[in-house]
Amino acid sequence: MIAEPNTASNLPSQKENAVHDETAPESAVQNGSSVRNGNLKTPSEKRKVREQCENIKRNSSSSRRVSQLQNGEVVEAVTLFEVVSMGKRAMQSVVDDWVEAYKQDRNVALLDLINFFIQCSGCQGMVTAEMFQSLHKKDVMRKMTETFDEETGLQYKKFMAYPWILTVTWPVDTDNKDYPLIRTGPYWKKFKANFCEFIAVLVQQCQCNILYDSYLMDTIISLLTGLADSMVRAFRHTSTLAAMKLLTAVVSVHLNLDVNKHNAERLYEVEKKRTSGKRTNYRLDQLERKRKEYERKLLEIQNMMNAIFKGTFLNRYRDVIPEIRATCIEEIGSWIKTYPDGFLNDSYLKYIGWMLYDKQAEVRLKCLLGLQGIYSRKELVSRMDLFTSRFKDRIVSMPLDKDHEVAVQAMKLLMLMSQNCEDVLSTEDCETLYQFVYTTHRPLAVAAGEFLYKRLLSHEGDEEVQPEGGGKFGASTDRLKRLISFFLESELHKHVAYLIDSLWDWAGKFLKDWECMTTLLLKNAEEDGEALSDAHESALIEIILATVREAAEGHPPVGRGAAKKILSVKEKKIQLEDCTKITEHFIMVLPQLLAKYSTDAQKVANLLQIPQYYDLDVYRMEHLRKHLDALLREVKDIVAKHSDMSVLEASSRTYYILCSEEIAIYSQVDRARTQLIDELMGQLNQLLDGFWQKEEGFCTDAGEISQMHSALRRVAAFHNAHDLTKWNLYDKTLRLLVFEMEHGSLPVLMILPALQCMYFSLLWQLTAVSENSPKETLFTLRRELRCFSQICMCFLHHKEKDAFMILCDWLLILSHQDSNNNEEAVGLLDYLPSTSLQEKLLLFIQKHVFMEEEEESKDLTEEEDRKDESCKLDDLHKKRSLLAAYCKLIVYNVVEMSAAAEIYKYYVKTYNDFGDIIKETLSKTRHNNKIQSTKTLILCLQQLFQTHAESQDSSSSVDFHSASFTNMKELARRFSLTFGWDQVKSRESVAMIHKEGIEFAFQGATGVGGKCLPPNLSFLLIISEFSNKLLKPDKRLVYAYLQRYIAEPLPCRGDEWQPLIWYRNSLLANEDEESSVLGSSGELSPVGTSKMSSFKRKLSNGSLPVTSQTEAEGKAPDLQCSSQLASAEGKRRKRLKSREMHLQEHLPFLCPGGLQRRYCKDEIKTEDVSKKSQAEDTTEDVDVDVVSADQDS
């Protein structure tokens, strides 16, 4: 039989002949030739088979177009494989047609089915068959082979599919590369579904009779078992999937038979009781025969199940291919769930337990999904005790899995185990799982939120059973207290938004019960002894703020979720309703809460953030205006009481939110805001007047300093969100700061808020610049801007470091201002830092970020050690903020990009603390300017090398094993990794690194003929870390550029010349020229004879110069390895010719016109030695720079 499967490209469109035309008659199969039975002995026979395989695709369309006349219409028949893969016919009718064909001639139909499975494996070869002739077992096993014939290039597989021995022959180049089950796209996804459906329907349609004929299933099972043992992945994968789906279908048949058997037994017992006393009964005998028939069928089905399980599953559940392992585990999970009486025991469960440790996430996921189906049914859980005790610890650890989906499904499985298994999870296990509500991956956090809510917060009967004295909110109060206790015990108080977001999908109704929460806060301890403690009150206020934010914004908090999700119409409606509910409730309650906690800065700062989520249109109702007055009054009192910046900023933002001109309450809030600012400015003016009236202009009284500090902070907080220009704050703060610059006697507490006030004042003036602004105003503003920059530069020495942050933000704003499309204003107000200012900024970063402070070893208690650790974290956060502010100046071209070289030096040393910031800076600068960014990298390495060389003894050579040199190589390796895998995208940058590195390495070389050791030669070891990022043509070009710096043959026996050898080897790795580079004596074979000075030509625009072919030929007589170079050159000509166009098109940076001429000359065959001498003379007389020539042309 010759099977001719189609390729993937033309499957949907081809039509082929009828099924019976594919198969040879049975007699022909039995008495087939040597080609048909697979016994290929002579080379001519093997070539014949290969030709047949290669012509399959070409001849299939013509040989199979055999038409049949049916009912007067011409119909083209197609193969079973195409019918199933196309899916255009109902699978029921396809199987019915095959069953009908089987009843007519089972051998032909079975061979058609065998051919179907071979074709589904993607085999593009030939299938032959011979009848099994009762051979001995050893002879049979000898025939079960899988070999490769090198002469014909064909792969052979011979195996038994009772009653035949099949031989599959296919070209080896199609092995394992592509087959239907792994192809992508909707067509092949549908094919897999159709394939599985075909097997299920086939078993279903055959379950009445032919399934038990001891022929059909024996053949299919032996076929699939034989294919599943193949070394070919396509055969193994396809046959394993088919076998697993076949067993699933057989299990369903077993269940139906079991039901029918029980029904027959019941009827038999009923009939037996009804006819007791009678000798014979036809009905009773009929039922007895039916019962025995069911038992016989069940026994056959059980044998089939055992054969498939032992023949395929046991061998393939640990296959090297993860898809095959996943298929096996997925199906065994369905068997256990569908037929627990047969499969729900430890003999089968152990396979799922073992595969929980699989290295592939796909397999672990299938295990968890299968276990979910089992643990979701309480009647099955009682039989899982041994499995649970053995694998519980593994399942509990799986929420930490690196694959997110596996972690989520593990948490859901633990939820089911917690619900249906009593005491299976210990208290320690639950406490560990609760903490996953704080993870950044939202699906896992939501699953953990369900576990927390159902296990800890929601108890059965909470709604019905009210605690004594609980009143209206008894059940909710109890839940709320449990939530607060959990929040405080977790000691992650800064992550309350994550906790609420995790619980939102499961406890949304409970978390929106703001009436219960505020009632609990406003309870009086004297009236109710169960009032909350101070810590519980603080936690509850944070929870209220988090729930309000979640309801009003409708998306996860920052850090959890990629971006804001698009809300549906229903979600938007719920969001608007929640905003209205929040506003109507807190309009009345918030003033009471502010009054109660007005002295607590943390509580007040959180409560004052609630109004930003109001629906301000609600204030249109007149009866709510009185609550607005109460709110404004409380906020005013809070501003007067507190000087904490978080409270003041929250108060300022509240006025900003309520002062929207579009709403009706604007005039009322604006009057209150103006009155408050007048009072604040009056206090500040009074303190300043008293300050300047002092004899020496400086007050030493701590109380007055504190008052001045508080007044300046209040004004600065409001100036941030509100325009206070009319109060002339700029002149007042300028006088104060100028006094400090002249006398240097003001405390830091006064300087920093004064700087902030001056900063905000100038920002508001910049915002007010319009197209009609007069030049006098612009010049005045320009003078003020530069004055403020000088003031900030003078205050960089302060310990608080806030002046540096202000200066960085200020420089960034000035360099990227818009000024309302006023080009003249932009030109006048534009400001870039001077060189001295840039140096001071860099020195500040080096001193306050990268300089390590000496730590004194002290014996600290546990509490002191915890506080010390907290202080270190805060200090690290401040350093990261400083570094990020400076790196923004580099990224946005405010500061010279070369300044980043000083930052990059610390990339490896401070990788854990600042590595992400430095890496992002490198990425952004490379995006802005690839060449300049690359020059910054090489500058960084050069500076480090020079520092290393200066630290070494001048008389000794460079120590390659020293810590500093090793760190340089590691830094270069990290830099090379940042270029990624796309060598074409980064080829210009990498070539620039090699060009600059070679020039630096040979810089300062002296001596006769350049034979003296260059002082920076060991720098070649550093740039060799970038050699693997070069494309092969680029390696050749860089190598040609290196040749320009190499003079006469150099003695390379010393270690001092090893960097040059190693670097050249890195450029010529895996190249044909490698043999011509190193001689057997260890000496370098030079490429040119001209002196070192003649090669030290400077390159413009980063272009790599190369020597022409004429030069190389002219200098050939002086080479040590000229014969080797000539042979290598001959081998290169074909490659160089094919790459010429590619280099010209994609790499003008590395391929100037001179190089193009060189390639052209590679193709010219020199016939006369005199021509070579003429070329040599021409080369020596005309010594031109390649780049200059290119530019002239």
730-784 pLDDT, tens digit each: 988 998 888 888 877 778 888 889 999 999 999 998 888 766 677 888 888 888 8
What share of the chain has pLDDT > 70, as a percent? 71
| Distance separating alpha carbons of residues 81 and 89, to the nearest angstrom | 12
Task: Measure Cα distances from 669 to 636, 662, 1141 in Å.
Answer: 12, 12, 73
Mean pLDDT of all residues in 1066-1085: 47
| Distance separating alpha carbons of residues 306 and 300, to the nearest angstrom | 10
What pLDDT score does 853 carry? 64
Residue 110 has pLDDT above 50, yes or no: yes
pLDDT top residue among 275 and 72: 275
Residue 626, classed as helix, strand or coil, is helix
pLDDT top residue among 892 and 122: 892
What pLDDT score does 71 carry? 42
What pLDDT score does 1190 carry? 36
Do 817 and 823 form a contact (C-beta atoms < 8 A)?
A: no
Residue 28 has pLDDT above 70, yes or no: no
pLDDT top residue among 554 and 547: 547
Specify the amino acid at residue 393: D
| Distance separating alpha carbons of residues 658 and 677, to the nearest angstrom | 16
Question: How do strand 73-76 and strand 67-70 relate by DSSP bridges?
Answer: antiparallel
What angle, rounded to 10 degrees, do the helices at 56-63 and 43-54 form?
60
The pTM of this model reads: 0.75
The DSSP line for 333-371 is HHHHHH-HHHH-SHHHHHHHHHHTT-SSHHHHHHHHHHH
Task: For residue 820, name the pLDDT band (cuts at 50, 70, 90).
Answer: low
Question: What pairs with residue 170 in β-bridges?
Answer: 155
| Distance separating alpha carbons of residues 271 and 679, to the nearest angstrom | 104
What pLDDT score does 1162 carry? 37
Do 1091 and 1009 form a contact (C-beta atoms < 8 A)?
A: yes
Mean pLDDT of all residues in 955-971: 79
Residue 218 has pLDDT above 70, yes or no: yes
Tell which residue, 449, 505, 506, 514, has the closest CA to residue 476. 514
Tell which residue, 1118, 1059, 1056, has the closest CA to residue 1087. 1118
Do 833 and 811 form a contact (C-beta atoms < 8 A)?
A: yes
What pLDDT score does 75 carry? 41
| Distance separating alpha carbons of residues 780 and 758, to the nearest angstrom | 15
Q: Which of 497-506, 606-615, 1182-1191 has the lowest mean pLDDT?
A: 1182-1191
Residue 302 has pLDDT above 60, yes or no: yes
Residue 442 has pLDDT above 60, yes or no: yes
Question: What pairs with residue 69 in β-bridges?
Answer: 74
What pLDDT score does 1049 carry? 58
Taking phi first (over 0 means left), then psi (-120 to 50 degrees means alpha), and beta for anything else, what does residue 105 get? beta
Encoding tokens for residue 951? 């630290």
Mean pLDDT of all residues in 907-930: 93
What does the buried/exposed string (b/e) look like for 806-842 if buried means 16 or more CB atoms within 10 Å of the residue's CB?
Answer: bbbebbbbbbebebeebeebeebbebebeeebbebbb
- Count CB neighbours of 1028 within 10 A: 14
Enclosing H/E stretch for 254: helix 233-274
Task: For residue 25, name the pLDDT band (cuts at 50, 70, 90).
Answer: very low
CA atoms within 13 A on the CB side of 862: 0
Mean pLDDT of all residues in 227-247: 92
352-373 pLDDT, tens digit each: 999 999 999 999 999 999 999 9
Task: Measure Cα distances from 250 to 304, 308, 626 in Å.
Answer: 8, 10, 77
Task: For residue 412, name the pLDDT band (cuts at 50, 70, 90).
Answer: very high
What percent of the chain is helix, strand and coil (3-state, nearest 5)?
A: 70, 5, 30
What pLDDT score does 430 carry? 94
What pLDDT score does 453 carry? 94
What pLDDT score does 147 carry? 56
1122-1168 pLDDT, tens digit each: 333 333 344 444 443 444 444 444 444 444 333 333 333 333 233 33
856-889 pLDDT, tens digit each: 555 667 677 777 788 888 899 999 999 999 999 9
Residue 855 has pLDDT above 90, yes or no: no
What share of the chain has pLDDT > 90, as a percent? 40
Mean pLDDT of all residues in 898-914: 93
Do 897 and 889 form a contact (C-beta atoms < 8 A)?
A: no
Specify the amino acid at residue 644: D
Task: For residue 545, name the pLDDT band (cuts at 50, 70, 90).
Answer: very high
| Distance separating alpha carbons of residues 1190 and 696, to the nearest angstrom | 73
Contacts of 159 (CB under 8 A, 6+ apart): 144, 165, 166, 226, 227, 229, 230
Q: What is the mean pLDDT of the chain?
A: 77
Mean pLDDT of all residues in 1008-1029: 80
What's the DSSP call for residue 1084? B
| Distance separating alpha carbons of residues 1065 and 1071, to the nearest angstrom | 10
Contacts of 942 (CB under 8 A, 6+ apart): 996, 1000, 1019
What pLDDT score does 1118 carry? 37
